[in-house]
Amino acid sequence: MSVRPAWEVQEHEGSATTAWFDVRLAFADGAQVDVLAVVREAGVSIEDVRAQPALSLDDLAALADWIEGPLFEACGDGPVEDGEAEVCLRPRRARPAWPRGIEGRWLVAEEYRAAQEEGADPVLAVMCATGRSRRRSLRLISQARDAGFLTPRHARR
């Protein structure tokens, strides 16, 4: 993880300072997250996030926790006292863990059918649930069809 100061603003004649930081998280699997974060007395706020591949909602919710300790250290406020920084910054995968084999195929089929019932794009639903690319999600859907969890795509005549 790298943390670089972007800019700083002194408010009310130097009584309060707001600082912006560029934060880059790079994961072993090639995933990368760039964040523009704001540090105030009240805590950390996230202004902008760019991630490749896209973050799941759970990872997005945990993002502030991942970067809070290093940001406060960069500000000179020191690490979080209750040890949360070490817990939050242990290596994480950019995409959610997804079961393999028959259980994973069953879950793909469940996501696919739920999206169809809601009138949403089922492939996009599988992409969001698994954190995989469109091509990989289509392959997972195909495997779920082959396992008999989804109806065949085209009826043969």
Instruction: Report pLDDT digits (tens) over 90-105.
Output: 333 445 577 888 999 9
Containing H/E element for 30?
none
Instruction: Report pLDDT digits (tens) over 28-56.
Output: 788 888 888 877 766 677 888 898 888 88
Q: Judge whether residue 142 has pLDDT over 90.
A: yes
Cis ω before 79 (30° cut-off from 0): no
pTM value surpassing 0.75: no
Q: What is the largest CA-CA distance in the chain?
A: 79
Q: Judge whether residue 71 has pLDDT over 90.
A: no
Read off the pLDDT band of 157 (50, 70, 90).
low
